[in-house]
Amino acid sequence: MAQGSPGRAHIARCDGDRDREKPARTAPAKKAPKRKRGRPKKGEAVPAKEPRRLELQVNMTLAAMLADLPTACAVGTKRNAKGHKN
């Protein structure tokens, strides 16, 4: 093919590192106090688990669901099928 023909048009972009989205910094999660192992004693109150996002979405409107979703990048690297970083 001749030089400049549309069949071989290609843009080389080697500066991709500069434009990559970086994961958003998050504050360290607060650790819950450790519980004793085993069944709770009679009369001992067990703290209720926080409801998950899907459980909360049952009673939400679509606009509220979309507003609740995170918009920042949360993962820094890709992972393969076994969960390891490449």
Residue count of the chain, please give it.
86
pLDDT tens-digit readout, 28-75 = 878 878 888 888 889 988 888 889 989 999 999 999 999 998 888 776
- The pTM (predicted TM-score) of the whole model is 0.46
Per-residue confidence (pLDDT) for residue 83, from 0 to 100: 82
- Residue 76 identity: G
Q: Tell me: pLDDT of 82 over 80.
A: yes
Confidence of residue 13 (pLDDT cuts 50, 70, 90): low
3-state SS record for 1-16: CCCCCHHHCCCCCCCH
pLDDT of residue 6: 60
What per-residue confidence (pLDDT) applies to 65?
Answer: 93
> With contact defined as beta carbons under 8 Å apart, do 46 and 40 qualify?
yes
